[in-house]
Amino acid sequence: MIEFKNVSKIYQTKSGRVPAVQDVSLKINTDEVFGIIGFSGAGKSTLVRMMNGLETPTSGELLIDGKSNDNLSKNQLREQRRKIGMIFQHFNLLWSRTVLENIMFPLELGKMSKAERVEKAKHLAELVGLSDRIDAYPAQLSGGQKQRVGIARALANDPAILISDEATSALDPQTTDEVLDLLASIKQKLRLTIVIITHEMHVIRRLADKVAVMEDGRVIEEGTVAKVFTHPEQELTRKFVNVETDTGPNEDVKPVIGELLQKYPEGQLLQLKFHGDQVKMPIVSEMLHQFPDLQLSILQGSVRQLQDSSGSIGSLFVQLVGSEEDIREALKFLNTMRVETEVYNHE
């Protein structure tokens, strides 16, 4: 377990004291995937770098499996670092080494025979799907392949913890998904705690069990991904979640909404939000059965799967046309089915 207890980091610069991390307390359980989301400058990178001692807290305490990094000698700290793998936004591979040599790098730092190193690195290359490129140099690889090498390298010393520092931020969406799939499969195959820093909710949704939202060095919201996605409390969290779940009418839908509002002035434009199992239930069709006089047009819909399979989020934009009473009753029905509704009016 990784425990941050009231951790702060303040940088002393010429222009004064700059707080990077302020009074952060977090618990990250063993074998959990923990996401930390926030914009750049929120203090995420500083926070996770305390785990391998690349940064030291100004105040507060960080315990990994009950032990603090503070009193470690330089040698002990290096030993500790070998148990924590890290992957980076810009991959940070050595251009002068081939794929295999890059993966072997962390193994060379310890005491392992050359034959063992080659054996292990080949195995890791296979794990990340790069067996056929082991003699290539990083410059010859695509971004996604480079990050695969980064992942293999980070896993070389069989770490207990893997830190991913914006590992997909330099990649295009499709490559991002490939890398996320790889991390997901690694999570399945190997037992390790993964700490992910990102500014993309997509990454959190795909991988994380728990998430903490950081702003200005503080953790402003924290909880299971399912909870934070369905009931975001802070404004910033809502922003991140909204980007991910289309909870506003998107640009394509807007003109249609305008037309429909004009064509059916008596109609009611609604956004329905479904959480968890509601996504799979025929709630809308049930509603139409109960109120057969209602007309319904579907404008836009989407379903997103959260990492833990209990969590799904559905969003549906519909227009209801009918008597005021029917519409009111229908809204009540949706309410009893615990579907959140949001009403859009003429602008």
Binding of another protein at residue 319 (CB under 8 A)?
A: no
Residue 137 touches another protein, criterion: CB under 8 A: yes
* Per-residue x/- track, 3-42, another protein (CB under 8 A): ----------------------------------------
Quick one: CA torsion of 102, 107, 109, 112, rounded to 10 degrees? -140
Residue closest to 208 by CA, chosen among 305, 87, 307, 312 = 307
Residue 336 touches another protein, criterion: CB under 8 A: no
Q: Pick between residue 117 and residue 153 the one whose CB is nearest to another protein.
A: 153
The binder of another protein chosen from 22, 147, 157, 198 (CB under 8 A): 157
Cα dist from 222 to 28, 218, 226, 271, 295, whole Å: 11, 11, 11, 26, 41
By CB under 8 A, what part of segment 55-84 binds another protein? 74, 78-82, 84
Per-residue mark of binding to another protein, 95-134 (x: CB under 8 A): xxx-------xx-xxx------------------------
Nearer to another protein among residue 105 and residue 333 (C-beta): 105
Instruction: Identify the residue among 62, 86, 152, 294 touching another protein (CB under 8 A).
Output: 86
Element of type H or E holding 318: strand 312-321
Q: Mark out the alpha helices in the chain (DSSP H runs).
A: 44-49, 74-82, 99-109, 114-127, 143-155, 173-189, 201-207, 225-230, 235-245, 253-263, 283-290, 324-336
Residue in 139, 189, 285, 289 binding another protein, rule: CB under 8 A: 139
Among 5, 27, 90, 238, binds another protein (CB under 8 A): 90
Contacting residue, 46, 52, 147, 164, with another protein by CB under 8 A: 52
Q: Judging by beta carbons within 10 Å of its beta carbon (0-12, 13-18, 19+), is residue 152 exposed, middle or buried?
A: buried
Size of site (CB under 8 A) for another protein? 28
Point out which span in 87-95, 115-123, 192-200, 244-252 binds another protein (CB under 8 A). 87-95
Q: How far apart are CA 205 and CA 171, in angstroms?
A: 17
Calpha distance 249→259 (Å, rounded)? 14
The nearest distance, CB 197 to another protein, in angstroms, is: 14
Q: Looking at beta carbons only, is 81 or 205 nearer to another protein?
A: 81
> How many Cβ atoms sit within 10 Å of the Cβ of residue 272?
20
210-215 and 59-64 beta bridge pairing: unpaired
Pairing of strands 161-165, 295-305: unpaired
In sign, the C-alpha dihedral spanning 178, 180, 185, 190 is positive
Residues forming contacts to another protein in the complex (CB under 8 A) are 52, 54, 74, 78-82, 84, 86, 88, 90, 92-97, 105-106, 108-110, 137-139, 153, 157
